[in-house]
Structure formats: structure tokens, C-alpha cells
Amino acid sequence: MSRICFVACTSSGTVAYSQVVMPGAYRRPIGATGPAAITTLRQVTRAMRGSDWEGVRLHVVTGKGGTGKTTVAAALAIALANGGRRTLLVEVEGRQGIAGLFDSPPLPYQERRVALAPDGGEVMALAIDPEAALLEYLELFYRAGRAGKMLDRIGAIDFATTIAPGLRDVLLTGKAYEATNRRQAGVPVYDAVVMDAPPTGRITRFLNVNSEVAGLARVGPIRNQADAIMRLIGSPQTAVHLVTVLEEMPVQETTDGVAQLEAAGLQVGGIVVNMVRTSPLRAREIDAAARGGLDVEQVAAGLTAVGLPEGSARGLLAEARRHALRVQLERAERRSLAGLARPTYELPLVHGGIDLGALYELSARLTAGGAA
Amino acid sequence: MSAAGPSGHPPLGPTLDLGGLIGDRRIRTVVCCGAGGVGKTTTAAALALHAAERGRNVVVLTIDPARRLAQSMGLTELDNTPRRVPGVDQRAGGSLDAMMLDMKRTFDEIVLAHADEARAQAILDNPFYQSLSSSFAGTQEYMAMEKLGQLRAQADRTGQWDLIVVDTPPSRSALDFLDAPKRLGSFLDGRLIKILLAPAKAGGRAYLRVLNTGFSMVTGALTRVLGAQVLKDVQTFVAAFDTLFGGFRERAESTYRLLKAPGTSFLVVAIPERDALREASYFTERLAEEGMPLGGLVLNRVHATDAPEISPERALAAAEQLEATGAHRLTAELLRLHADRERLIARERHLAERFTAAHPKVGVVEVVARPGDVHDLDGLRDLARDLAWGSASDNAPGAADTRR
Ligand SMILES: Nc1ncnc2c1ncn2[C@@H]1O[C@H](COP(=O)(O)OP(=O)(O)O)[C@@H](O)[C@H]1O
Ligand SMILES: Nc1ncnc2c1ncn2[C@@H]1O[C@H](COP(=O)(O)OP(=O)(O)O)[C@@H](O)[C@H]1O
Ligand SMILES: [Mg+2]
Ligand SMILES: [Mg+2]
């Protein structure tokens, strides 16, 4: 809907993007970054491109361990907050990865602001702790008060969240569900919730809370809770994005993950190809380099021209070969990802590690690519 | 260049002589540890293959091999027992068996071995057991240790293997391998379990008298949230498990002791990235505290240089100079590639040097990043060449030219 409206607006020459693409912006203007400020080039480009995930309110980010789930989830939360919106970044694995990324002390079980979006907007974060979530839940539904503390003291909470089949997952997804649906004065508190989720191998089971708690409860509050969560997760308001790098194992996992998610009836979102390297060589040169077919004399002549030892030509060609073989493999992995026919976003390999600046850079790429 | 490792760089620290380590017949167990995704499984497989082709009778316990690697090692059947790996050069008199850990099955087998049939079946059918055996964080580590204990006992009994190489589960932290069994133990030994056992032990509802009213509030709350059936399942599970538990604990402890015995050597695997090296550091310190023998650090996936004589600054300046003239475009591009590579290597070495500065006595061997995955025996042999770099016999002049 918003895209159609936007086309109409531009054709008439008005610059009223905010009304159509950023509902959050006029709902809750922050400082000077209300609708009036939204005329930067980047925003215009973004508005023209539109987001591929219009209408999605819960973004689940999965992927093989180490491919950059936490990093991408954070960058996406920033991108989605752009333009005066507010997003919540949640983590569910008790690793305090978000705190590490934003260089903040460990997150308590409490929503905290971790970043501002460059064009206005804020990113809140929450580390969901299943034990705290269970206590909260008991309190909410049973006013468990003293009994809750007692349960905690004797280790019942630990026990229940550790081995009760599926309970842990229902609590974790349940909290994300609550935050996604939370309203204040009739208005959603968060424009979007981004979940730094468990890895691909576990994601389908994790999200499929319904079958998870089947053995636990057939009726009762947990069952109702699971049904409500499932309605959100299975709806077009939820998208599961997969992060990968251009290597065999992660790409294989991505392919398997997409199949499993689809089989479970969950909406597969985009594929984020992370840590992409660029090559100064042209395609033809890559193939020649990989074959060992680049001309050593030619390179040696170039070296001589700048006063470098011509003998280094062999070394440079050997390095070019390593590089080219790698690029060729990446090409093959890219092809198999293309076979998935999902919106795909590439993020560059950032040299020297991820700091806040790099996160903003990655979030801008996601925006430009249409992920937010 | 003779002092250089497989990466073409001077050594980072004392050289880890892995060829010597596996050639030493007193070494009977090698455990590969490290953060997730650094190459533990690949290193374990490559080292095991190398040892087998040098004449040792090896069994390698892999946890989560990549699909193609598993296939090429004949690990297609998940039957939780070692199988002969085809295609291994046996001329030196060695052999290689391999298996992939089936965590749930290993757990089931322990239950079956420790309880009479009826009780065992009750446990296996219990939903809480099923959850614990398939998804408790730590079960995999515990079962890896259990399996190692079993293989060790079998090797001692039958003499069929003289070297066991163990891969460890893909945990975030290398320490999990050492901590998880204890965590599982203390979990199963916790206060709640004792309380839940009380009714069974005291008989009937006697516990209500023993415990204060707070407890009935607790069970009341649990019953309301989870339902009465769930509470009953928990109690059945805990009661059945309790009889097994002593045995469990003993086994975990004896395997843990095995790890301290002479004849065991740990290898810490890392890649030249901050997190992985930090893990390697923690693990190294922990091994020292526990009195467990560290073989050394395998620094995997380092980048290699083939033109160390050209500094990155010089390469960039030369590339710019060429670009300004418009001639020799290819040479300029290769110089830029070289500059990028040298910078990457400098960052990698900087990170690795922090490790070696903190642990100056730990031997290090570098393994060069291959352009693609390692998924067959030839790929493993190729890696093993780097792994065994520190052994004089493998470090023949010209060997560097065979690297990819
Ligand atoms: N685009 C990138 N460029 C460079 N390093 C990256 C990039 N994305 C992630 N990383 C780094 O890779 C490592 C793993 O990323 P992380 O987000 O923690 O992955 P996961 O949550 O999937 O385990 C971290 O050290 C992170 O800083
Ligand atoms: N030196 C190397 N060069 C290139 N690829 C490697 C190297 N070592 C490992 N790999 C690849 O990295 C991936 C992860 O390795 P793996 O051994 O499974 O790690 P871990 O067991 O620590 O999780 C595999 O695809 C493997 O082929
Ligand atoms: Mg993470
Ligand atoms: Mg592994």
C-alpha cells in the first residue's frame, strides 16, 4: 500500500515521503528528526526503493553460528529504527552478545536503549532470560509472588526452564511476542522487534512452539500462550531472515534451513550474505589466475617498471591463484543461494572488526538494499 | 625462508611438533578443543589420518563433521560405533577407524546399561528424559566424554587402537567441554530434585508433613501452570533417574581423571580472530589449573604470503604509480591484492602475538587457509602437511611449493 502511495506522491512532485513510508515518524517524533527532517538523499533513495518487509513486525535473524547473526540483527534493528522509529533488539541465548557489540555492560532483564539511528529513532535492547521470563509469567497470571521466589530458591525455575520440553522456547518467544504486540495509548510501543535467534539447526523447532509444547500441556495457560505466539510467528507479520557467508557449510545450512522453515509453514524472509569480499580482478582474470594462466612475463615487466624485483612476479601470481580459487568458490556458493530465489542482501567484510561505526555502515547497506 | 612456517612467515612462538607428538607412542589420546567453527573437526580428522598413515592404529571420534567430509570418511551410517575408513594408506602398518557421535543414543545406552529393563524403559519413555537427552546444553559434551571413556576402555581391552583422537562439540566456548559434565551433574543433584524425590522416598503424601507450606504453594503453582500430569512425569523421571545417578557421576569423574592422565594431550585450535584467540587463552589457562597437558596451539586458517619481500606500503605505492601511467594494469591489481593480503596477515599476526605474549611457552603450528573447504582424504592429507610442519622429516626443502 505504502509503495503505491509513494509513487503517486513522487509523480506529483511532493516530498512527503514520511507520511507514506514512515508511520512511526509522525507518531513519535524525536527531537528535530520528525517528518520535516526526512529529506536526506539516503532517505529519498530508501523511500524510492521501499522496504521488502513492509508489514513485518517481528524479524527473526538466524544463521550458522559465527556467520554474523548478532551483528546483522543489530544492524537491522538500527536500519528499521531509522526515521524516528523505535525498535527492540532481543537476544535469547544468554550470551550477552548485544552488550558486547554495543560495548555496554551486560544487559539486565530490562529494555535499555543501546543506540540511536543516524536519521533519528532509537534501538532498545533486551536479553531475554528464560528464568526471569518464567517468574514474570507466574507473577502475571498467578500473582505467584512468594511462591515464585520459593520456586526460584529451590531451583525449580532452573529445572523447569532447563528440561521441561519446549517450555524454555515458549518463554523466550513469548517475551518477543509480548514486546511485538505491546501497546501504549493504543499505539504499538515498537515499530519492529528484531530477534537475534538460535542458529539455523535449531530455529524451526524453536519457532514451532506449538508442537514444542504439545507434550507439555494440552490445555491451560501455557497452551493458550503457545497458540497466541504461533499465530504471530506463522503470520505475515513475522519473517525469518537467514545470515550466511559464502562458504560451503553455512550455505548448505541455509538451504536446509529454508526448506525446514517452509515445511513448517513459517515465512522465510531474506538471505543476508555477510562478510563479502570484493576483488580488483575482472572475471576473465580470475579464471586465468585460478588456472595459473596469467602471464608471468607481463607481470614481471610491470614490476620492473616500478623498480620492484621481477622475481616477485611468481609470488604475486601464486597469491593471485589462491585469491582466484577462493573467488570462484564464492561464485559457486552465490549461485546455490540464488537458487533459493529469496531477496538477498550482501554485506561487506569489515576489516579490523565490528565497532559502532561499522554497524551503522552495515545498517545503511541493509537500508539501501531494501531490507529495511 | 627456512625458518618460516607454512604461511611463509617467521614462527610466532616455539614450534609445536605435531609429527613428533603423534609419533610418540606414549601419547594415546589427543583432544582437539576450541571455539565453534575454528576447525576442530577438520584438525582431528587430519591428524588422525596422518597418524594412521605413519603407522598408528587410530580411532577418531568426530562430533559434527561437515556432510561431505563425513561421506568421504565413510561416516554414512549413524550407528554410534567406529568403522574402518576406506582409502587410508596402510603401508606403514597403521589403520584408521572413525565414528560420529550420536548423543541421544549414547545416553540411551548408558541408561540401558545401568537400570533393569522395566526401569530403563520408563526412563526412555519419559518426556523429561527425552528433552534432557536431546537438548540439554551440555549433554553433548557429557556424551562426548562418555564415549571417549568407552573407546579408551575398549582400546585397553582389545588393543585394537593405540591412539584415540577426539573432536569436541561445537559449543561457543571451549571451556564447555570441561564444564558441562559437572554442570549436568550438579543439575541432576540439585535441591529441587531432592525435594521432588522426597514423596517417593517417604511414601505417599508424607512429604507434606516434612516440608513447609511454602512447598505446597510451589507444587500448587506448578500444577496449575503445567498440569498435574507434568508434575507426575517429573517425579517419575527424577525417581527413576536417581538410582542411575551415582553411576553417572562416577563415570563422568573417571573420564575426567582420564583427561589428566599421562598419555593425553590437548590441542587448542583457533583461527586468527579476537574471539577465537581469547577462547584459546582461557582454555590454555584452565588446562594449566586443572593440571591437564596442553600439546599446543593449532592456529588454523592463517593467510600465507608468497612475496614477503614486498611490503604492503611499497606495493600500494607501486600500484598507484602504475595506475597513474595507465600501463601494466594487471600488475597494479596484483600489487593491490598483495597489499590487502599483507595487511590482513599483519592483523592476524598482531592478534596471534597477543596469545603468544601471554603464553610464551606454548608451542604453535600454523595451518594455512585453503581456498575451499576440506572435504576428502586428500584435503586432509594436504592440511596434515601444515600440521606436521614442525617435524624435521616433513619439512623438506621445497615442501612450501606444494601448498595451495
Ligand atoms: N561484515 C562483517 N565484517 C567483519 N566481521 C564481521 C562481520 N560480521 C560479523 N563479523 C564478526 O564475526 C564474528 C561473528 O559475528 P557474530 O555476529 O557474533 O556471529 P553469530 O552471532 O552468528 O555467532 C564477530 O567477531 C563479528 O565481529
Ligand atoms: N585450513 C582450512 N582452510 C580452509 N577451510 C578450512 C580449514 N580448516 C577448516 N576449514 C573448513 O571450515 C569449516 C569448519 O571446520 P570444522 O572443522 O567443521 O570446525 P569446527 O569443528 O571447529 O566447528 C569446514 O567447512 C572446514 O572444511
Ligand atoms: Mg551471536
Ligand atoms: Mg566440529
Closest CA in chain B for residue A351: B344
**Cβ pair A159:B404 closer than 8 A:** no
CA–CA distance, A264 with A283 (Å, rounded to integer)? 40
Pick from B202, B350, B220: nearest CA to B277: B350
Does residue A29 fall inside a structural domain? no
Which residues are registered as beta bridge partners of B100?
B62
The answer, yes or no, to whether any atom of ligand 2 lies below 6 A from the CB of B298, is: no
- For residue A358, report the distance from its CA to the centre of ligand 1, in Å: 11
CB proximity under 8 Å: B 224-243 to A = 224-227, 230, 234
Q: CA–CA separation, B80 vs B63, rounded Å? A: 11
Query: Per the structure block, which three cell numbers stand in for B188?
Result: 541432576
Amino acid identity, position B160: Q
Model pLDDT, residue A348 = 96
* A302 lies in the same domain as A262: no
Using a CB-CB cut-off of 8 Å, the residues of chain B touching A218 are: 227
Q: Do residues B35 and B276 make contact, with C-beta atoms less than 8 angstroms apart?
A: yes
Interface of A with B in 9-28 (CB under 8 A): none
User: pLDDT by residue (tens digit) across B345-378?
Assistant: 999 999 999 999 999 999 999 999 998 889 999 9
- Decide if A145 touches B, using CB distance below 8 A: no
Q: What is the pLDDT of residues A167-192, one digit of tens each?
A: 788 889 999 999 999 999 999 999 99
Q: Would you say residue A105 lies in a domain?
A: yes
Query: Among residues B64, B40, B97, B30, which one has the least CA distance to residue B259?
Result: B30
Contact (Cβ atoms closer than 8 angstroms) between residue B222 and residue A156: yes
Percent over 70 (pLDDT), chain B: 81
Structural domain count of chain A: 2
The answer to whether residues B375 and B72 touch, using CB atoms and an 8 Å cutoff, is yes
Atom 12 (ligand 1) nearest CA: A68
CB proximity list for A354: less than 8 A, separation 6 or greater = A71, A101, A362
**Is the sign of the CA dihedral A279, A281, A286, A289 positive or negative?**
negative
Question: What's the CA gap between A242 and A272, in Å, rounded?
Answer: 6
Q: What is the CA radius of gyration of chain A?
A: 24
Other C-beta atoms within 10 Å of B289: how many? 8
Instruction: Give A35's DSSP letter.
Output: G
Chain A interface mutation, best of B225, B313, B338, highest count of A Cβ atoms under 10 Å? B225
Domain boundaries, chain B: 18-311+335-389
Residue in the structure block whose three cell numbers are 522426597: B198
B42: nearest Cα among B375, B284, B365: B375
Residue B200 scores a pLDDT above 50: no
Q: Does residue A107 sit in the same domain as residue A72? A: yes
**Ligand 1 pocket residues where CB is under 6 Å:** A 63, 65-71, 97, 274-275, 347, 349-350, 353-354; B 275
In a domain, A21, yes or no: no
d(CA A130, CA B377): 44
A256: pLDDT strictly greater than 60: yes
DSSP, collapsed to helix, strand or coil, labels residue B368 as strand
How far does the centroid of ligand 4 lie from the alpha carbon of residue B204, in Å? 48
Question: Are A3 and A51 contacting, i.e. CB atoms less than 8 angstroms apart?
Answer: no
Measured between CA atoms, the residue of chain A closest to residue B226 is: A217
In this complex, the residue of B227, B331, B337 whose CB is nearest that of residue A319 is: B337
> What is the crossing angle of helices B228-260 and B103-114, to 10°?
100
Asked whether residue A42 is domain-assigned, the answer is no
Domain match, A191 and A320 both: no
Q: What is the CATH number of the domain that holds A129?
A: 3.40.50.300
Residue A49 — very low, low, confident or very high, per pLDDT cuts 50/70/90? Answer: low
My answer on whether A237 and A291 are in the same domain is no
* B328 reaches A (C-beta below 8 A): yes
Whether the CA torsion B152, B153, B154, B156 is positive or negative: it is positive
A319 and A173 inside one domain: no
**Which grid cell is B214?**
511454602
Phi, psi values for residue B297, rounded to 5°? -105, 130
Q: Give the other-Cβ count within 10 Å of B345's Cβ.
A: 20
SS3 (DSSP) at A155 = coil
Q: Are A289 and B371 in contact (CB under 8 A)?
A: no
| Residues near ion ligand 4 (Cβ under 5 Å) | B 40-41, 64, 170
Query: Does residue A37 form part of some domain?
Result: no
pLDDT classification of A216: cutoffs 50, 70, 90: low
Q: Could you tell me if the CB of A248 is within 6 A of ligand 2?
A: yes
* pTM of the shown model: 0.85
Asked if A111 and A205 sit in the same domain, the reply is yes
Whether complex ipTM tops 0.90: no
Instruction: Pull the grid cell for residue B46.
Output: 587430519
Same domain, A154 and A251: yes
User: Which residue has its alpha carbon closest to ligand 2 atom 9?
Assistant: B39
Residue A295 belongs to some domain of the structure: yes
Q: Which of residues 216-235 of A touch B (CB under 8 A)?
A: 216-222
A164 and A213 both lie in a single domain: yes
Span from the CA of A104 to the centroid of ligand 1 (angstroms): 17
User: Out of A15-29, A110-124, B9-23, B192-206, which region has the weakest mean confidence (pLDDT)?
Assistant: A15-29
Same domain, A282 and A158: no
Question: By mean pLDDT, which of A10-19, A123-132, B242-251, B320-329 is the weakest?
Answer: A10-19
pLDDT digit string (tens) for A228-240? Answer: 999 999 999 999 9
Query: Which comes out higher in pLDDT, residue A278 or B331?
Result: B331
Find the domain containing A233 and state its range: 50-277+349-369
CATH of domain B18-311+335-389: 3.40.50.300
Estimate to the nearest angstrom the gap between the alpha carbon of B240 and the chain centroid: 32
Q: Are residues A264 and A144 in the same domain?
A: yes
In this structure, the answer to whether residues A176 and A313 fall within a common structural domain is no
Find the CB nearest B225 among A65, A222, A301. A222
List Cβ neighbours of A249 (8 Å cut-off, separation of 6 or more).
A64, B66, B373
Are A289 and A330 contained in the same domain?
yes
